[in-house]
Copies of this chain bind each other. A is one copy, B any other.
Amino acid sequence: MDAARALFVAKGYADTGTPEIVAAAGVTRGALYHHFADKADLFRAVCAREAEVVGKVIDDATRDLDDPAQAIRVGSVAYFDAMSVPGRSRLLLLDVPAVLGRDEATGLTLGEGRAQLREGLADALPDAGGGELEAMTDILSAAFDRTALAIAEGADRRTYIDAMLGIVERATAR
């Protein structure tokens, strides 16, 4: 999985072959297909582990915060930090939706962060219905993702974070 991660990050899912992966890992394809159903399954395992780390970072950073608004701010920065690990954003935000589909992507990428965002929104917008809240969460998490991707691709960190936090702040100010 470490070898696969490195190659998926460097060359993308499609351009990474299983022979290459097993060569880097020092095993054979037989071992690979014994532990994983297929190439996509290996990819899923790699990304799930990666996403779990991100979720844990966010969780750790916001555990002791009571104010939902502050939790969103702090959690956002934690998210951007976690997603700045080289290759991680490409893995989770570009390849995962295309390879595993958007359903799995949402279920995987933002287990914790998305829930916290939703909670923060619910707190800021007490008169919003469940559907509206869900839509808001969905849309804003896409904005968070793009921000993380932009930062990872070299955009100015401060500028993007300020812009993103400004959008959330204004969206939740009533």
Contacts and interface: CB of A to CB of B under 8 A. Distances in A.
Interface of A: 12-14, 94-95, 97-99, 102, 131-132, 135-136, 138-143, 145-147, 149-150, 153, 155-156, 159-160, 162-164, 166-167, 170-171, 173
A146 B12 CA distance: 22
Q: Which 9 pairs show the lowest CB-CB distances between chains A and B?
A: A142-B146, A98-B98, A135-B163, A170-B170, A143-B143, A135-B160, A131-B159, A139-B143, A136-B163
A102 B94 contact: yes
B163 A139 contact: yes
Nearest to A103: B153
A147 B156 contact: no
Nearest to A147: B139
Describe A's contact surface by its main secondary structure.
helix
A132 to B, nearest CB: 6
For A135, A142, A164, the residue with the greatest tally of chain B CB atoms inside 10 Å of its CB is A135
Given A159-B131, A170-B170, A171-B171, A99 B98 contact: yes
For A94, A143, A149, A159, the residue with the greatest tally of chain B CB atoms inside 10 Å of its CB is A143
B132 A159 contact: yes
A142 B145 CA distance: 8
B150 A146 contact: no
21 contacts: A14-B99, A102-B149, A131-B156, A131-B159, A132-B159, A135-B150, A135-B163, A135-B164, A136-B167, A138-B160, A139-B146, A139-B150, A139-B160, A139-B164, A140-B143, A140-B167, A142-B142, A143-B143, A167-B167, A170-B170, A170-B173
